[in-house]
Amino acid sequence: MSKDTADKVVGAIKRGLDDAKDALHEGKHRTAAEGERGRRELLGDEMTLGEKAGSVVNEAKNRTQAEIDAAKRKLRDHT
């Protein structure tokens, strides 16, 4: 096997591992975001205004992090 071929194989494996890691992180963040939404739906009026605001911010943060992980995979696939 030539060095060029070996480098391509190693690169493909590394991209696959990086994609898997980012997919796992994306799923974790999306699950956390849905958990925040569910928490607000479940607790509703029992939550203070500050708790609701904090939950909304946490949901937005997790959704943003999930989108970043998805974008990393898409970018990596196009290079």
Q: Where are the domains of the chain?
A: 3-77
Per-residue pLDDT tens digits for 28-42: 999 999 999 999 999
Task: Place 23 in a pLDDT band, splitting at 50, 70 and 90.
Answer: very high
Task: Place 78 in a pLDDT band, splitting at 50, 70 and 90.
Answer: confident
Query: What's 78's DSSP letter?
Result: T
**53, two tokens:** 């605001």
Dist. CA 69–CA 22, nearest whole Å: 5
Per-residue pLDDT tens digits for 44-65: 999 999 999 999 999 999 999 9
Q: How does the average pLDDT of the chain come out, rounded?
A: 94
